[in-house]
Amino acid sequence: MKALVYRGPGRRELAERPRPTIQYPTDAVVRIVKTTICGTDLHILKGDVPTVAPERILGHEGVGVVEETGEAVTAFKSGDRVLISCISSCGKCVNCRRGMYSHCAQGGWILGNTIDGTQAEYVRIPFADTSLYQIPDALPDDPFVMLSDIFPTGYECGVLNGKVAPGSTVAIVGAGPIGLATLLTAQFYSPAEIILVDLDENRLKVAKQFGATRVVNSSSGKAVEAVLQLTGGRGVDVAIEAVGIPATFELCQFIVAAGGVIANIGVHGKSAELHLERLWAQNITLTTRLVDTVTTPLLMKTVESGRLPAAQLITHRFQIDDIMKAYDTFAEASKNRTLKVIIENSGGR
């Protein structure tokens, strides 16, 4: 089968690989219909993720059709149309039983990381019963591809951890795909204000279309002042970090109001300065989280009921044969105005 393979730092290739097979009774093999590329895949390609060995098939998102199931799989059968969660969950360990699937003793983020992933024609899914979700017949594929990772990430790490609530004032720092997914799901709770902060004017324009009530272009270096002015000097109830660098994390610390929350989504490569000399008395809550995908069923309901326009994030489409080009398009996001790309194998809806 065709697969996008990591060859070591800076090198990727569309290669031919053998089709995966059932290895454990709890496995399923899924034929991929549509997949996508994540910012994390770009990090892997830079060599920043040491758990990913060369020759790994990348990808941890996608929608497909179950091809085959191990004998202990009871919730799915051949032919079922499924959403693949970016997090594999055994359903049995202490962390799975407390809803922290991201730290599953045997699973967690393993697809396209420690085992082969979804940017291929087929993928083996461990713990299929608790890592796949049945897609309703009547609905198209696209929004569910967006529910493999990016929407649960924005919703769990940003909106839920941030305790966004009716009437609250929210700032989202970073208007990339994750920031925009956060923006869309933050609106589930009817906050009074959602301020988007980014350097890219096009992304801020998209943010306004997606429901931001205010936008701040931080290229001026005066984002703190701008946010404080928009909030009458008080700061925001919720500051969501959706970039992953010290500067944006720093910004969050200076715009959050007393009693507020800083919810980190960004994948950080280095430490940041925490201004405890100021924050110790500010009654702040700061959260970090690797997405657990515990809200996938809930998010599927919001798609079904028409309350989450998840497919809005999709800007470009490719066939699997053009996946190298898809990566180029995604990597140069600003130039191409890319948000999320779809890579199709065949026969999607």
Return the structure tokens found at 239.
Answer: 């500051």
The Cα 84–Cα 29 span in angstroms is: 11
Q: Which of 302/338 has CB closer to a copy of itself?
A: 302
Q: CB of residue 96 vs a copy of itself: minimum separation in angstroms?
A: 8
258 sits near a copy of itself (criterion: CB under 8 A)? yes
**Residue 136 binds a copy of itself, judged by CB under 8 A:** no
Torsional class of 69: left (φ above 0), alpha (ψ -120 to 50), beta (otherwise): beta
C-alpha R_g of the chain = 20
Out of 21, 78, 190, 219, which residue is the one contacting a copy of itself (CB under 8 A)?
A: 190
- When asked if residue 247 is in the footprint of a copy of itself (CB under 8 A), the reply is no
Which pair of tokens denotes residue 317? 């489409």
CA–CA separation, 286 and 241 (whole Å): 11
Report if residue 287 touches a copy of itself, rule: CB under 8 A. Answer: yes
In one letter, which amino acid is 271? Answer: S
Locus of tokens 């009437």 = 167
Structure tokens belonging to residue 195? 């301020």
| Site for a copy of itself contains 266 (CB under 8 A) | yes
Determine if 254 is a binding residue for a copy of itself (CB under 8 A). Answer: no
| Rounded-to-integer distance, Cα 172 and Cα 257, Å | 14
The H-or-E segment that residue 65 falls in is strand 62-69
Q: Which is nearer to a copy of itself, 152 or 329 (CB)?
A: 152
SS3 state at 180: helix
Nearer to a copy of itself (CB atom), residue 18 or residue 306: 306
Q: Sketch the per residue contact string, 95 through 114, with a copy of itself: x for CB under 8 A, - otherwise.
A: xxxxxx-xx-----------
Out of 115, 267, 311, 331, name the contact with a copy of itself by CB under 8 A.
267
Smaller CB separation from a copy of itself, 238 or 290 = 290
Q: How many residues does the chain have?
A: 349
Provide the binding-site residues for a copy of itself, judged by CB under 8 A.
25-26, 71-72, 74-75, 91-92, 94-100, 102-103, 129-130, 165-167, 185, 187-190, 192-193, 213, 244, 249, 258-259, 264, 266-277, 279-290, 292, 294, 297-299, 301-302, 304-305, 307
